[in-house]
Structure 1
């Protein structure tokens, strides 16, 4: 049983003891802390908080506890029902709400759920603001509303359509070109909210869609993280032929992966790269991704005359950096596309629409498009540590060891060599160091990782 409290929100497994899991008492505690923070921050005059959830088994229970708690704090709740993370983010802005709570554990397995907390701008809380929520939760100095000041509850099920309309109206989304291409796609909706919104989205685009795992039960048909090892079902379906593209989303539809027409992976890292290549060709500018994402985005950005800037891992860190450098597009190598023209949040619908537009304009297949992009391979490893290991000291020694190389230490230690890179960062939840490395071949990426791991072992 696990309960993880971090700047990314509150997540945990369902069932078990108080303080060890995401149970009703802890849901009340952290929802109350969030509402207290919203009131203290005075960043919005609104008294409304938006609540949306993915299709998880525990979603109904968690939603009821969250909504009741917010009403007990005196807030009016607008429940938008089964909704993606980006839909909920947009709903906060569209309603002029004080904030929002997304009930989703993203790519985590079925026994998990989480509270993801939004500002009045429909964006994840900054690290400082999220820490304030955690501090309030520990103090438990809560004040609930008197009977005449209790909040009101309402439901609004229009935001899926409004999200779709938002994407269709983006300047670089060419709906007519997509319709003329008569695309046939296969969608793995992983038994969650992708099965609610994406068929409507494809219908609006004139795209013929076959849905796999389309029952919104939350009983995921496979591990919900959109990695190649988990996607044998849709890859097998694609190999049967008859499709232009396979599309995979995670349970809250902020991550996006493509399968080529021949059943091969387009590459999760290349979701952002391919979309950025299209966007930059029409609106030259700067880009941002996190330190553990492929170098291909930098290559594409510089090809179009822009500047690439790395950010610390975490969506809020990426969006903060995007605003600082006025990036026209950014995101994360896990299939997260952030396009400010729509909003500052990872959005699979935006990624799909821009990708299909690019395909329709270039009159090529997905595999042909992939071959036009810089080719790199990322190896992902880990070093297991004892709970007493001084990880910061180890990373400092690694930094000193490579002091003559290009080193970035905004989040762990990343060493950039001319033809490869390696990134070491400590986990926030486990006594491990994550070791990501990239090179022109998988063998070279693995070799670099092993070299760094050996150096770390010798330093312990």
Structure 2
């Protein structure tokens, strides 16, 4: 059993003894801590907290524990049931609520679930706020409501409201999408995407939809992380149908992977690149992604005479940088599109609508669109270290060794070479350094990554 307590939320495997997994007792503790935090830091007069969940097998059990605990803490609960992560984020603002909790372990396997905590803007708590919640959970200094002040619960469905909000975006061109008469394949991994993605596509004017795994029962038919090695079924479907494009979402529908008409992966890194290309063409401005995302976004941004900025890894870090730089589009290279005109959160619905608008205006095949962007490849490796190694000291030494290059140290160490980069980050849970590298070929990316990894190994052997 596993229970991981971090500033970005609480996640773990279902079951086990208290403290060993995400069980009802631990869930009550962390939800009570969150409710205590919200009560002490309320930015509005609302007494509502929104709760939404993906279709995991443990979802209904978690939903009842969470909503009951919030009521016991004196909050009124707006339970939106099966809902995507971005739907829950939008529901918080639409309800003018004090906060929200999303029950999802995102791309983790079926035995996992998690509590993702939102503020009154429907955005994830920042690092300092997350630390406060963890501290309150450790102290267990909670005050529950008496019988006259127990919260109430109401059930609402925000799926249609979310879809309408997407349709209302100025750059979503329903008429041109409908006229393009796209045939679209989808893989929704038997979670909430199976509810919302077909409805969204129909609302966008798509008449021909080839569906894979749209039953929201939490029985994931393959590893739910939308990586190429897990998407063989939809790749085959693209080759055996006349589908123009394929869309794959993770269980909570905040990440979007795209499949070309020939079954080739568009590349998760290029989801944001393509959407940014469309947004920048119509509304030039700054862009943001995290340090481990492809340089292609920077290249496309500069081609429009605009400025690209990098943020530390993590959605809240990206949104903070986006606000600071007034970015018109941003996100993460894992297929996470953040479009401020909608809201400050990764949203696959927005990504699909903007991508289809872009594709329809371009009047080209998906493979042709992909070929029009700068070609980069990312290699992901790691260096395993002994627990006694001072990882921070090694990263500092790496920074000094490569000081003649453009080095960024806001999140580990990233070395920007003229035609490639390497990003080293230490793991928070195990004695390893994650090494991401990018270049114009996979061989070059692997080689530069290995080169820096060899330096890390040499430094660690001296400690």
TM over 0.5: yes
Q: How does 1:74-153 map to 2 (within 5 A)?
A: 74-153=74-153
1:42 alignment partner in structure 2: 42
Report how far residue 33 of structure 1 moved: 0.3
Q: Deviations over 1:105-134 (max 9, x none)?
A: 000000000000000000001111111111
2:425 alignment partner in structure 1: 425
Question: Are positions 1:181 and 2:180 aligned together?
Answer: yes
Report how far residue 54 of structure 1 moved: 0.1
CA distance in 1, matches of 2:428, 2:105: 16
2:197 alignment partner in structure 1: 198
Q: Deviations over 1:133-158 (max 9, x none)?
A: 1111111111100110000011002x
1:57 alignment partner in structure 2: 57
When the two structures are aligned, how many residues end up with a matched partner? 459
Report how far residue 91 of structure 1 moved: 0.1
1:255 alignment partner in structure 2: 255
CA distance in 2, matches of 1:411, 1:282: 32
1:325 alignment partner in structure 2: 325
Q: Deviations over 1:411-437 (max 9, x none)?
A: 000000000000000112222111000
Deviates more, 1:370-379 or 1:425-434: 425-434
2:30 alignment partner in structure 1: 30
Contact 1:3–1:10 (Cα < 8 Å) also in 2: yes
1:9 alignment partner in structure 2: 9
CA distance in 1, matches of 2:363, 2:168: 22
**Aligned-partner SS, 2:270:** helix
**Aligned-partner SS, 2:50:** strand
Report how far residue 386 of structure 1 moved: 2.2
Contact 1:287–1:309 (Cα < 8 Å) also in 2: yes
**Aligned-partner SS, 1:294:** coil
1:277 alignment partner in structure 2: 277
Instruction: Point out where structure 1 has 5 or more consecutive residues left out of the alignment.
Output: none
CA distance in 1, matches of 2:429, 2:92: 29
Contact 1:12–1:113 (Cα < 8 Å) also in 2: yes
CA distance in 2, matches of 1:93, 1:236: 40
Q: Deviations over 1:34-72 (max 9, x none)?
A: 000000002121000000000000000111100000000
1:245 alignment partner in structure 2: 245
Contact 1:38–1:98 (Cα < 8 Å) also in 2: yes
1:408 alignment partner in structure 2: 408
Q: Deviations over 1:195-245 (max 9, x none)?
A: 011111111111121210111111100000000011011001111131000
CA distance in 2, matches of 1:62, 1:387: 35
CA distance in 2, matches of 1:57, 1:231: 22
**Aligned-partner SS, 1:343:** coil
Deviates more, 1:431-440 or 1:322-331: 431-440
CA distance in 1, matches of 2:403, 2:368: 41
With the length of structure 2 as denominator, give the TM-score of the two structures: 0.98
**Aligned-partner SS, 1:436:** strand
**Aligned-partner SS, 2:44:** coil
2:367 alignment partner in structure 1: 367
**Aligned-partner SS, 2:141:** coil
Q: Deviations over 1:262-288 (max 9, x none)?
A: 000001100000000010000000000
**Aligned-partner SS, 2:108:** coil
1:160 alignment partner in structure 2: 159
Contact 1:241–1:261 (Cα < 8 Å) also in 2: no
CA distance in 1, matches of 2:183, 2:431: 45
Question: Are positions 1:381 and 2:403 aligned together?
Answer: no
Contact 1:92–1:98 (Cα < 8 Å) also in 2: yes
2:232 alignment partner in structure 1: 232
**Aligned-partner SS, 2:148:** helix
Question: Are positions 1:340 and 2:340 aligned together?
Answer: yes
CA distance in 1, matches of 2:331, 2:89: 16
Report how far residue 409 of structure 1 moved: 0.1
CA distance in 2, matches of 1:390, 1:277: 42
